Amino acid sequence: MLTLAAVAGGVVTTLVGIAMDRGTGGLARNPFDLVWIAALVLVVLVAAVGLRGIRRITGPMDNLIQAARRIEKGDYSASVPEYGPPEMRSVARAFNAMSARLKLTDEQRRSFLADVAHELRTPLSIIRGQAEGIADGLYPGDTEHLEPILDATRSLEVLVEDLRTLVLTDAGSLVLNREPIDPTALVHDVLASFKAQSEASEVNLAGDLDYGIPMVDVDPARMRSALANVISNAIRHTPPGGSVRVGVQSAGDQVVVTVTDTGEGIPAKLLPRVFERFVKTPSSTGSGLGLAIAHDIVTAHSGKIEIESTQGVGTAVRIILQAASAPVD
C-alpha cells in the first residue's frame, strides 16, 4: 500500500513539473488539464489500493464461506488458513476451534452409539438364545434355563437406566429430590443389597461405619445408585478371597464415603479417564458406565469423587459430600 501511494505522488509531481517547465504548446497552454489528469491518475491508484485492501478481506471471507458449507454438509474436518487483517485472523482461529470441537463431538457420538450397540447385543443374544431353546424344546422351562434370561433382563434394565441418567445429566435435567439423610444408614442399606453378590464372588464385603456422622442433603435414590455403581465395580474387579471395605467418616464440614478394594487395580495410563463413559480395562465385563454415572450424580450434588489405584494392589474411591447438619445422635 505504501508503494502504490508513493507511485501516485510521483506521477502527480511529474505532471505538475511538466506544466511549469514548458512555456508553449500542448498541455502547457492549459495547465488545468494536467491537474485533471493528475487527479484521475491519483483516483485510479487509490482505487487500486482500495481493491487490494478489499481482497485482503474478501479472500479470507471466501475461505470461511466455503468451509462453513462443508460443515453444513457434515464435513467437520473443514478449517481455514489464518491470515489477513488481525480481525480476520481472529475469526479464522475461532472458526477452526469450533470446527475441531464439532469433529470431536461427532467422533464421540459415533463411538457412544457403537458402544451402546455392543452393550445391548450381549444380553439380547442371551435372552434370544435361551428363549428359542425353550420354545424349540431343547431346554426345559425350568429355573436353571430361565435364570440367564432374568439376569440378562436385569442387565438391560440397569443399562437403560444408566443411559437415561447420562442423557438427563447432559441435558441439565437431572432432577434431585433432596432430603436430609443419615449417610451411615444409607451405606448400610447398600451394603446389605450386595451381600448375595459378594458371597457368590467369594469377596469379603464389610463396612467401617462411624455413627454420629452429620446428615447429608442428597437425593437418596440417586446417591444410592452412585454408591452401588462404585461397590459393584469394586466387587467385579476383586478376585476370590479379596476384600471390599466401605467406610463413612466425618471430615470437618464434609462427609467422606470410601470404597477400598484389594482387586486388580487400574492401569496408570487409564486412571485419568476412568470417569469417562465406556472407559474400562480390557478384562472388564461391565458396561464402562458405572464410574461415569457415579461421577455425574456426585457432581450434581456439588460433591467430589476421587480415585486412587495401584495395579496389582487395589483401588480406593472417595465420595466427598457437604454435611447438612449437626451429628446424628
Q: In sequence order, which residues have a C-beta less than 8 Å from that of residue 313 and are 6 or more positions away?
A: 262, 265
The answer to whether the beta carbons of residues 109 and 137 sit under 8 Å apart is no
Share of the chain above pLDDT 90, in %: 32
Alpha carbons 273 and 277: distance in angstroms, whole number: 9
Say which CATH class 179-327 falls into. Answer: alpha beta
Low-confidence ranges of the chain (pLDDT < 70): 1-60, 282-287, 325-329
Give phi and psi for 85, each to the nearest 5.
-60, 160
pLDDT at 319: 97
Task: Give the SS3 label for residue 282.
Answer: coil
Provide the pLDDT for residue 206: 93
Please give the pLDDT value at position 74.
82
Cell digits of residue 106: 461427532
Write out 206-247 in H/E/C secondary structure: EEEECCCCEEEEECHHHHHHHHHHHHHHHHHCCCCCCEEEEE
Q: How far is CA 118 from the centre of its chain?
A: 20
| CATH number assigned to the domain with residue range 100-170, chosen from the 4 options 1.10.287.130, 2.30.42.10, 1.20.200.10, 1.10.375.10 | 1.10.287.130
Beta partners for residue 193, in sequence order:
none
| pLDDT recorded at residue 27 | 47
pLDDT of residue 2: 45
Whole-angstrom distance, CA of residue 245 vs CA of residue 263: 12
6-64: pLDDT as tens digits: 555 555 555 455 555 544 454 445 555 555 555 665 665 665 555 555 555 566 677 77
Give the residue extent of every domain in the chain.
2-75, 100-170, 179-327
User: How far is residue 72's CA from residue 112's CA, in Å, rounded to a whole number?
Assistant: 22
| pLDDT at residue 327, as a whole number | 47
Cα 139 to Cα 121, 126, 134, 143, 307, distances in angstroms: 22, 14, 5, 11, 45
pTM greater than 0.75: no
Q: Specify whether the CB–CB gap between 265 and 311 falls below 8 A.
A: yes
